[in-house]
Structure 1
């Protein structure tokens, strides 16, 4: 080796030039494809509802080391694209841009579909083949002329007028009372047949909940307890004639309620029993008939037993209207008998707010299409588009069916647009030609699974009443009624995210504890419920108990710590039946009681609702088994908990919070290439801030980091003024440059602009709250600097300079006033007179270091301090603990905390049986915690960003860093999906050195840092070739072009060839 050293620098320079200017040694495309791949529109793959029809952003992954030009072609169909009949051809555009490329053709039509393709040129002038065609659709905008919102009909429309009611009844205690002409549960006529010696008929009117007795008429017979009588009531407009045992006993005229359904109401001591109840319209149509021979009640306030309907004390319900919250809706349409090119169904509903979830589930020809809508940002109505090309049948009847639930502003609207090969289109949608069925006979009122924050129904399904097949063509809906048309929705806006899907996930364990009683473990958390095919007998009841944790061995805790009650009872019909949960339960475990015997794993698939997520897109493996488990738990949490909006948890609150959403977004950035759900969630929070002082600042950090990930400035431009308003400018003290708050800086809570520092408050490590708060100052510094970068990105240069100056002054002041050199840590703050607080909670150093306040020397000392304290804060703060340690070049300490198994650790969550990351480290620290809090899933980003040092240095990953801090770990590798392509990084520590492997996507350049231990020259060996490197803070760094590469401080003639090290090349698949 010594004979070669004099010429190594010359060789290194030549090698570096060749590496950068020449094609990569390995195929830079992770897919190995010669043409562009990963085509996106608006950063989504094949969206069906692109709202921007003038300049949507296109993107693709480049197959070559670099791109110097591209060409995009767009057509109204794939066949026209193939034939060259184009809507737009960009021609060759000399540009290296492969993401955020604005469509520049003629305005796109609304509610249409397009196919497109792209090809690129590399640095040598070589042209790629065309990409495979991709499709996207445009949103309808406000043009929904082929449809109107619908819901259940009003009582008159349902035919409930001019009818005859007949029934057999007996008094159990005191009175037998029946309700009719009901508008809802608070407005109706009520006839009270008084027994227990009174023996009168007392007609009542109930208006807005208040009762008024209309009259009192002797019955002429004695109503003895348990003795049957026959009742007949003839409703003719405003006249009601009442017959008892075929004798007319009363004629009452009341014009207030002349139509409506039936029901029951009892007081605190009234009970009655009913049989053979029927309602027949004047034209002979049977509106209702039940002899109660089958188990299951159509009335939520009554039960069926012994072939009779029994109404207990203190009840109030009406048929068909008490269940107006639930609606089955269906319609059929027949497209022309000619070749279909594409089909999209657009759908919306109202209101998602009471349940903080969605309003409808939609099927086409029996196949699940989607659910929605997402909660609105302001007063707009959100809708979604779904590609249903593969589901629509030409020239045949196609059935759309929706099962919808809400308690407020109830409505549903859908419009199916079918595009034919000849370029024509047809549209079909909801309207009065749709049919509707009240859902209360299937889902009788049983209470809520929610908490004080939201209401969502328990689902005590009555299988005998379920309209099986209602979403398939030819279903007999003759007993249904016409849907009622509603007023048009205002301001319809497409939701710019991917759409939640449903899929079946089998459990990992099923134990039949006793005949018909099962314990089910899915091995991880899912949101959704159960999908089951069961064989039962009429009246058989199957109880489902979902839970996040166990009471004891194989005992599911269905009464969650959060206050949710996840218990549903399904009443089966005779024979085979398919039943499934409609709403959202968050669970890892399920206990089933009363089921058929002999069932196994295949019989209990979870019906998981999942935001589109490539579970294999992000990959991590290492020599540390604990870290593998922690990363997997965090990765699985991201997949399971995203749904259609970032919320703290889908159990207790279902509400977005800024800090929670920021951490969830960061975990997503390193798990998925789709930023749209996170961006929408942050947009939502811009208009709905929560109470802590720090939380709104996270919207600035989130938008800045999203821009760093994607390079897209559209959201920054749209939200700029709102972001500026989030800055803590009002608290910047002119004399010091520090943030000073003279009110609500004492650790208060649940009031706007109370300083929070950490949550729960018991996790604050004794933090001393003062007007000058180090944590508040640290987050404020980061917000000003990120806001400066945002302003620069959109050309607001004067603002950028001002924000940067404020941030720089704040940083200097923090290091002057708040750094304690003797302690090697930041103090909690300053008193009002600027005297230092003599306390150093771990949070002060954690947030200062994580957000870039210290220089390298202070960061290293702060890391030493933080590492010595251990995890003395919450799962929220933990993300920044790990960041601060990596920022201080103490990857060894970070690894120790990531893999620790004490009470405050991710391994403790796993030990406690968590199927997702928890709200707190342990129930002993927060007894009402959830086991489904994505703000604790930070290892999903801490590992790739900290352990491997992967960070974009140019927005959108045009350039990025890899800087592994392996600690004591022997080897590890990670793969990240990005809009540019899959980024891979690996390291292997052996023989006193650390070798590094990277997979660099096309059209990107990585700056890779290799630990310098063992290096005597400022040289790295890139694929065995010497290249000059820069020595910095114990690392040697060099630029690496696209492709799969290995780097080492040792030449290839070392003991083992680096290029053949599978620990490194694992990322090159």
Structure 2
């Protein structure tokens, strides 16, 4: 029985507890020797928790959809014996819903990653689907409540142009906008498709509607689709605004080029359709960020400094009617695919955001406010000022540790050799400083504000991968310390899962293979998220195709220095794929990456000594990692001069099975 089936049975039992109790009571009351009739079979309940590609409402499904659901039954010990799926084209302004596929009754216990088997679905379209199940006795459930999904768009369907602001800036914050007028008929469906390198925020008529990362190579790019039906106004002026940030190469970011691509499709009740595309008619300008130095030499993030006076001058840039006469026309690369931007695929994951306030704020003798958020968080500081003064610079210092005088430590030792400071130049009056890039920290010191600050005016926007709380594991024991350890482990895995799996949200934000495997296993078990793991597994598979014909994988991917491996990390890959399958039941990913795992196995076998059966003189790696040796032996006095290394051979068994 699968994990989801066990969860279903547990839930079914809780729903049927009164019935079960009544039956047991009747059995116990029966006289000895009196035959008792078997409990009647009950038909299954309608399935719930319907998913497509493990997502509840995806908007950019590519290829054949994969369906999932949770079967429910009040009878103890039940299991699904068959299912039937029906998929329909969603109703539109010009027509009613139309059925496109009925699987018929399929004898199977499968209830996750069940493949669609009908005719090809139209791109960029909305569909509904439902499912019913049969139990062991052959009783059928009712149909599940309709669920929905949208199909994605292919490279040739964008019709939009990659645009950018012509600049030699390494840390590039660009504002891009476009005004347009819609027809008077009611907007019944609107979808915004967007991609930007390397990070963006998208607005419709002043409302933040989407945030997206694109930390990948421009021939492996990602896009996201967003439902903006309620945000586009019919019969009037509208505006799209996109703030995109190009960091340049670094940990987790390849060396490529900046650019932004947008496609907005608007369907009206009268059957008409309007399409707004990124092109040379857009306007661009630099955002109010000032040039700064790196936070450290590892992650190569830049310090963040915002000029609030420039921000005030640009206020309203995401709204129609804004005066952008001083802005410039963008540089147009060409209609997608064009230049280095050769391929886009749907983003499999999203980030979630939560604004939190400190649990305690202390005012130092110099007037600085020190906020304690109670735990380490990956977040972006947010400060509300009531009495700003034009030109006054406010300094913010984030950190992990307080100094004896109560101020936040900025030492390299305490902050992973990372400059965790921000700065903000005020304009007159009330205003809010909102950082754009996140860091890991617990404490935040605000100095030079010129006014008292408390917990209501200090906040942090916590970000991590968007997980489904209903899937989260629970653990409770009589030992409070054990409970806290479990909470710490689950939270750490969640907080280390951002646009990618991270080495750390502070010093090295790159997606290292070994770290990814560890975090992935904890995330799947603790939060029930499998999408980030599937995405990372596919990305590391691409690293083999790009760099390693001998079967190795990159140690960190994507990355600014391109080709780099740690042999032990390569060995972790096949077992990781198998762990994903055991957690998800997704056979398609195993099949898609099977050759990659075979290549890894061949790579390992080439270095097995026939005389001993052990891996020796393992080729690969560099510096401290040459021949395969990873952090823990290297840093704790292990003998690294041996020909046969224990960690390499333990992992080799996992790869080869011998």
Q: Tell me by how many angstroms 1:146 deviates.
A: 4.2
Distance 1:743 1:130, change over 3 A: closer
For the residues of structure 2 that align with 1:480 and 1:598, how far apart are their CA atoms? 37
Q: Tell me by how many angstroms 1:83 deviates.
A: 6.3
* 1:554-565 map, 5 Å: 554-561=406-413, 562-565=416-419
Question: Of the candidates 184, 191, 196, which is equivalent to residue 337 of structure 1?
Answer: 184
Q: Tell me by how many angstroms 1:586 deviates.
A: 1.9
* 1:491-510 map, 5 Å: 491-510=342-361
Distance 1:529 1:26, change over 3 A: closer
For the residues of structure 1 that align with 2:656 and 2:182, how far apart are their CA atoms? 56
Residue deviations 1:199-220, cap 9 Å, x none? xxxxxxxxxxxxxxxxxxxxxx
- Contact kept, 8 Å, 1:744 with 1:754, in 2: the verdict is yes
**In structure 2, what is the equivalent of residue 482 of structure 1?**
329
- Contact kept, 8 Å, 2:192 with 2:264, in 1: the verdict is yes
**In structure 2, what is the equivalent of residue 530 of structure 1?**
381
For the residues of structure 1 that align with 2:188 and 2:134, how far apart are their CA atoms? 31
**Structure 1 stretch 118-127 or stretch 584-593: which is displaced more?**
118-127
**In structure 2, what is the equivalent of residue 252 of structure 1?**
none
SS in 1 for 2:46: coil
**Structure 1 stretch 457-466 or stretch 680-689: which is displaced more?**
680-689
Q: TM-score, normalised by structure 2?
A: 0.81
**In structure 1, what is the equivalent of residue 391 of structure 2?**
539
Question: Of the candidates 388, 395, 401, which is equivalent to residue 241 of structure 2?
Answer: 401
* 1:801-820 map, 5 Å: 807=658
Question: Of the candidates 415, 420, 443, which is equivalent to residue 566 of structure 1?
Answer: 420
Residue deviations 1:374-408, cap 9 Å, x none? 32268332222223334333334332211122246
Aligned: 1:136 with 2:12: no
**In structure 1, what is the equivalent of residue 656 of structure 2?**
784
**In structure 2, what is the equivalent of residue 61 of structure 1?**
70
Provide the aligned length of Structure 1 versus Structure 2: 583
SS in 1 for 2:627: coil
Distance 1:729 1:444, change over 3 A: same
What runs of 5+ residues in structure 1 fail to find an aligned partner? 1-19, 155-183, 185-320, 351-357, 786-806, 808-1069
For the residues of structure 1 that align with 2:292 and 2:281, how far apart are their CA atoms? 32
**In structure 1, what is the equivalent of residue 137 of structure 2?**
124
**In structure 1, what is the equivalent of residue 108 of structure 2?**
95
**In structure 1, what is the equivalent of residue 635 of structure 2?**
762
- Contact kept, 8 Å, 2:219 with 2:344, in 1: the verdict is no
Q: Tell me by how many angstroms 1:496 deviates.
A: 4.2
For the residues of structure 2 that align with 1:336 and 1:523, how far apart are their CA atoms? 51
Q: Tell me by how many angstroms 1:130 deviates.
A: 2.7
Aligned: 1:695 with 2:569: yes
**In structure 2, what is the equivalent of residue 684 of structure 1?**
539
For the residues of structure 2 that align with 1:25 and 1:611, how far apart are their CA atoms? 27
**In structure 2, what is the equivalent of residue 348 of structure 1?**
195
Distance 1:435 1:424, change over 3 A: same
SS in 1 for 2:305: coil
**In structure 2, what is the equivalent of residue 211 of structure 1?**
none
For the residues of structure 2 that align with 1:554 and 1:505, how far apart are their CA atoms? 22
Question: Of the candidates 600, 620, 627, which is equivalent to residue 482 of structure 2?
Answer: 627
- Contact kept, 8 Å, 2:238 with 2:319, in 1: the verdict is yes
For the residues of structure 1 that align with 2:359 and 2:15, how far apart are their CA atoms? 32
**In structure 1, what is the equivalent of residue 305 of structure 2?**
460
- Contact kept, 8 Å, 1:36 with 1:62, in 2: the verdict is yes
- Contact kept, 8 Å, 1:739 with 1:773, in 2: the verdict is no
Aligned: 1:429 with 2:267: no
**In structure 2, what is the equivalent of residue 653 of structure 1?**
508
Residue deviations 1:340-399, cap 9 Å, x none? 44332221123xxxxxxx332222233323333332268332222223334333334332
Distance 1:131 1:666, change over 3 A: same
SS in 2 for 1:588: strand
**In structure 2, what is the equivalent of residue 369 of structure 1?**
209
Distance 1:522 1:769, change over 3 A: same
Residue deviations 1:739-796, cap 9 Å, x none? 2314679xx96366523154262335x45753233332221112223xxxxxxxxxxx
Question: Of the candidates 428, 440, 443, which is equivalent to residue 289 of structure 2?
Answer: 443
- Contact kept, 8 Å, 1:323 with 1:438, in 2: the verdict is no
For the residues of structure 1 that align with 2:11 and 2:243, how far apart are their CA atoms? 52
For the residues of structure 2 that align with 1:336 and 1:34, how far apart are their CA atoms? 45
SS in 1 for 2:189: strand
* 1:273-352 map, 5 Å: 325-350=172-197
* 1:625-1024 map, 5 Å: 625-686=480-541, 687=543, 688-690=553-555, 691-727=565-601, 728-736=604-612, 738-742=613-617, 750=623, 753-756=626-629, 758-759=631-632, 761-763=634-636, 766-767=638-639, 769-785=641-657, 807=658
Distance 1:680 1:324, change over 3 A: closer
SS in 1 for 2:325: coil
Q: CA RMSD in A?
A: 3.1
Q: Tell me by how many angstroms 1:705 deviates.
A: 0.5
- Contact kept, 8 Å, 2:468 with 2:528, in 1: the verdict is no
SS in 2 for 1:27: helix
For the residues of structure 2 that align with 1:92 and 1:420, how far apart are their CA atoms? 38
Q: Tell me by how many angstroms 1:548 deviates.
A: 2.9
Q: Tell me by how many angstroms 1:117 deviates.
A: 2.1
Aligned: 1:48 with 2:37: no
**In structure 2, what is the equivalent of residue 235 of structure 1?**
none
What runs of 5+ residues in structure 2 fail to find an aligned partner? 18-43, 249-255, 544-552, 556-564
Distance 1:349 1:26, change over 3 A: closer
Distance 1:706 1:618, change over 3 A: same
For the residues of structure 1 that align with 2:445 and 2:170, how far apart are their CA atoms? 28
- Contact kept, 8 Å, 1:330 with 1:400, in 2: the verdict is yes
**In structure 2, what is the equivalent of residue 284 of structure 1?**
none
- Contact kept, 8 Å, 1:534 with 1:596, in 2: the verdict is no
